[in-house]
Structure 1
């Protein structure tokens, strides 16, 4: 019998068991005999736990709150080691037709990679950053089992509780900190017909590499978070104490905060200096000084933050993603590093300005237009928008009329 035929028969047997037992377990009619036949005991035990909160017919994993996964990834101790090994992860995923994922200790996916086809299939079930794959959210799967048992886990086809996952096979193992804590899991997934025992060997190898990085001291210290202020001004602080950063270092820190996936050295140098003839040693010295000021926290081969950093510009973007214009305007105090001419900063500055402005112009709340107009005194369209939204008797209309008049170009002088 061919390997494919063997897998097909195994899948058919599991689908039959699932169809027989899941409806009974859902109604409390199941018994201990549910672990007989093609089913493993740990699978049926997980089914019982999961059915308390999970509908087997749901179509995808629930999502965490907007921006939450990015915040978790930014502060995750796994981010630094993964950044060092990202090329290996991508090679395994794309060459072998897998999608790989990293979660935190709660089962929320923080990072994925894979070929375009597999990534699209994975995204349909929200096997993507922000997807919640713990047992209470998505039932029996390799990620939830590995987190529950603390051991490597494989879940094939209809061993998954949720029917939409029956076309998948997943291999997963927990990642432990040097002190033994589970920090998350590494998962490799593909379609059931591509199941192969070597996949678990790859997972174990990747986990071993990550844990070796953590033991080598790359686990970030649990110190105070660095806060970057880059809207309308420029500066950074740790626990309320200002950090002494040169303008270039602040530009680099801002770019790293805005792009959590990081930069290759060449791309970061271009984003900071553009076409200016700056030596590699000068650029590396700026990164080195910044790393020293942060107490580490920047990966070597691919420049990315490996310790928690918060940033007002990132707060604005996350708020806009949630549709929270009130919060976005509270953080938006002006253009991004207004005196910087670094190409990467100028690009992000324009992006932020357009995003905030459009949020204001598409809102029917006059408060947004009034608050934003304080930051853009010469934006005629914003003042006109505010005037349209204010009631005729509103006491703030004279102020808006004054701002509008000031923003209008002066008429040409008559000869």
Structure 2
């Protein structure tokens, strides 16, 4: 079995191919380029029509336009929420993390300080334009063009100033499939590793799940918080609600297909001897408090309602445990003994707890453990995952000690 060439030899071969392409007349050289991947060669052909391979810096966008792009981008909230995770990963790995919009303009970057400074020297920084017509072949350009994850290494970049880099990219998509931008992890060419592209894919999955949750939220200003301390907000202000109203509203939010009167009666009152007129009266008061958002014959919401418990379920379904743990501020309506609420409370807690115990990220166990101080197994899981020397072990140890002596 033949061995792959060493990275330095492969880079030298790519440099030779790059030299032949950029010094010959436009178009593919007559001789086949063994070292050059087909998608790279095709990108070089397109890029050479508009890009000077000797250019040193990516063109930029003015500050006002960049501010508008970032403010209006559907990626702003998800990326802001994940900024700490992206920064920690990039800094620990000696990389930078970059997020662009659908046109290849960089909206966000973070990471290792020295790598970031070198990236800024070529304007791989907020405001830089990295689509193919501006900076030629790069991971960002290939992902935008193909709609697939891509890697561009060393002299595969058309612009010579980028030959010392490797970039791993994947497109970020809306729920309807539209490309919203690209996530890029970049570092120096001799630090390349195939697992980095796997990491990029996983991060994009987490970003997309947050994007989809944001897009599923109704445009109105009503929000129900059912996890931990229950509250209903309208126009940013808390609305006084009776416990029974919050219980019924939570059930309707969690089951958008609604309830027959008989099934909602069972979910709210169980085996208690309560007349149907009592349920009608409770629903009528709730309908008045929600501006008539509850249908008459089949009890269901006539408009979607933003609800943290619903968003937690969506995050778990998308495999985004980071968002799920962040949303969990405590059990569902913890003071309620309504049968339907009790059933949903157990469902949510079991789903989230099982996911945390199966996950290798200690941050998830620590954050979930903060909300579950008596859960010995969660604290033990956090301790198993945290490396020796990590200062957070003291916190997990203290929580375990308290739980064991409760």
TM-score normalised to structure 2 length: 0.52
Say whether residues 1:19 and 2:19 are aligned partners.
yes
Instruction: Give the counterpart of 1:65 among 62, 66, 80.
Output: 62
Cα distance in 2 for partners of 1:87, 1:62 equals 28
Alpha-carbon shift at residue 83 of structure 1 (Å): 1.7
Structure 1, 148-157 or 210-219: larger mean CA deviation: 210-219
Quote the residue 1:28 is aligned against. 26
Cα distance in 1 for partners of 2:114, 2:106 equals 19
Quote the residue 2:382 is aligned against. none
Quote the residue 2:192 is aligned against. 195
Alpha-carbon shift at residue 154 of structure 1 (Å): 0.2
Quote the residue 1:115 is aligned against. 112
Cα distance in 1 for partners of 2:31, 2:117 equals 38
Cα distance in 2 for partners of 1:194, 1:167 equals 10
Distance 1:116 1:37, change over 3 A: same
SS in structure 1 opposite 2:42? helix
Alpha-carbon shift at residue 169 of structure 1 (Å): 0.2
Distance 1:205 1:32, change over 3 A: farther
- In structure 1, the gaps of 5 or more residues are 224-242, 247-294, 303-415
Distance 1:144 1:159, change over 3 A: same
Distance 1:15 1:124, change over 3 A: same
Cα distance in 2 for partners of 1:222, 1:104 equals 23
Quote the residue 1:87 is aligned against. 84
How do 1:145-224 and structure 2 match up within 5 A?
Answer: 145-218=142-215
Alpha-carbon shift at residue 219 of structure 1 (Å): 6.4
- Render the CA deviation track for 1:352-393: whole Å, top value 9, x for unaligned: xxxxxxxxxxxxxxxxxxxxxxxxxxxxxxxxxxxxxxxxxx
| 1:81 and 1:218 in contact (8 A); partners too | no
SS in structure 2 opposite 1:180? coil
Say whether residues 1:39 and 2:36 are aligned partners.
yes
Alpha-carbon shift at residue 28 of structure 1 (Å): 2.5
SS in structure 1 opposite 2:39? helix
- In structure 2, the gaps of 5 or more residues are 221-233, 238-304, 307-322, 328-406
Alpha-carbon shift at residue 52 of structure 1 (Å): 0.9
| 1:174 and 1:184 in contact (8 A); partners too | yes
Cα distance in 2 for partners of 1:7, 1:92 equals 25
Distance 1:68 1:32, change over 3 A: farther
| 1:77 and 1:219 in contact (8 A); partners too | no
Cα distance in 1 for partners of 2:55, 2:217 equals 38
Size of the aligned set, in residue pairs, is 230
How do 1:249-398 and structure 2 match up within 5 A?
Answer: none
Alpha-carbon shift at residue 9 of structure 1 (Å): 1.4
SS in structure 2 opposite 1:119? helix
Distance 1:209 1:163, change over 3 A: same
Alpha-carbon shift at residue 244 of structure 1 (Å): 8.1
Alpha-carbon shift at residue 17 of structure 1 (Å): 0.9
SS in structure 2 opposite 1:102? strand
TM-score normalised to structure 1 length: 0.51
Distance 1:40 1:4, change over 3 A: closer
Distance 1:4 1:88, change over 3 A: farther
Say whether residues 1:96 and 2:58 are aligned partners.
no
Say whether residues 1:74 and 2:71 are aligned partners.
yes
Cα distance in 2 for partners of 1:89, 1:158 equals 27
Cα distance in 2 for partners of 1:180, 1:20 equals 39
SS in structure 2 opposite 1:188? strand
Alpha-carbon shift at residue 31 of structure 1 (Å): 3.9
SS in structure 1 opposite 2:196? helix
Cα distance in 1 for partners of 2:124, 2:61 equals 12
Alpha-carbon shift at residue 73 of structure 1 (Å): 0.9
CA-atom RMSD in angstroms: 3.0
Q: Which has the higher contact order (CA 8 A, sep 6+)?
A: 1
Cα distance in 1 for partners of 2:235, 2:150 equals 48
SS in structure 1 opposite 2:28? coil
| 1:4 and 1:193 in contact (8 A); partners too | no
Cα distance in 1 for partners of 2:219, 2:47 equals 34
| 2:26 and 2:48 in contact (8 A); partners too | no
Runs of 4+ in 1 over 6 A off after TM superposition: 219-223, 243-246
- Render the CA deviation track for 1:28-61: whole Å, top value 9, x for unaligned: 2634645x31001111111111111100000010
